Amino acid sequence: MTEARRSLAVAVRCRRHRTGATQVVLARALGSSQSRVAKMEAADATVSLDLLVRAMVVLGATRVEVGRAVGWGASEPPEAGRRRRHGGNRA
């Protein structure tokens, strides 16, 4: 999970810069604080992966972009693809 946290932190910071949003603007959109956003971007261990993903979504990231940031390289986690291939139609 540490690598995913680091990767998401970098992605959040890059996307925030690209969109022109400040840490304060992102914090308000998340219902959080600027210091929490700074911790997010520093990949602080106290920041949940959920919050990092929510930040990506708030900044306009698609599912594919979030997946790539996490390291999946696709639009859904690896286990979701396995379920579809092997699960067939579920009743």
DSSP string, 61-73: --HHHHHHHHT--
| Tens of pLDDT, residue by residue, the chain (91 residues) | 688 899 999 999 999 999 999 999 999 999 999 999 999 999 999 999 999 999 999 999 999 999 988 886 543 444 444 444 444 444 4
Cα separation, 21 vs 19, in Å, equals: 5
Report pTM: 0.76
SS3 state of residue 60: coil
Residue 81, pLDDT score: 42
Q: Which pLDDT score is estimated for 77?
A: 43
Q: What per-residue confidence (pLDDT) applies to 71? A: 81
- The candidate with the shortest Cα–Cα distance to 68, out of 53, 51, 54, is 53
pLDDT of amino acid 87 = 45
Q: Where are the domains of the chain?
A: 2-87
Q: Do 7 and 69 touch, CB atoms closer than 8 A?
A: yes
Instruction: Determine the topology of domain 2-87 in CATH.
Output: 434 Repressor (Amino-terminal Domain) (1.10.260)
Token representation of residue 52: 């990092």
